[in-house]
Copies of this chain bind each other. A is one copy, B any other.
């Protein structure tokens, strides 16, 4: 699902990863993390896809809510397991979403009016 985020500004955590071979409990933990993240204060949405690499983008109200989720004990356990077992490499990028706009077939939706799409 494309996340139905509110008007910017808000934060995105872009997590890009390459997996090791085998499941080793990864899928179950990934689903648990999505469920837990979505219960956190400040969580706005999450999008995920995996082919050669996996990309998960989670959206948050502010840096404080990202930090609280980072320090969540079950998330910390999962992150350690990620480094020991599941990932051959990953990169995490923390980014301030300044504007967004969208398209839905038969309608155009956006949180910004057209003048703001000029990026100027």
Contact = CB atoms under 8 A, between A and B. Distances in A.
A91 B98 contact: no
Determine the main DSSP class of A at the interface with B. strand
Nearest to A119: B67
A9 to B, nearest CB: 9
A22 to B, nearest CB: 14
B102 A91 contact: yes
A30 interface: no
A105 interface: yes
A104 interface: yes
A92 B102 contact: yes
A76 interface: no
A37 interface: no
B104 A88 contact: yes
6 contacts: A2-B17, A12-B93, A49-B52, A49-B53, A87-B105, A94-B99
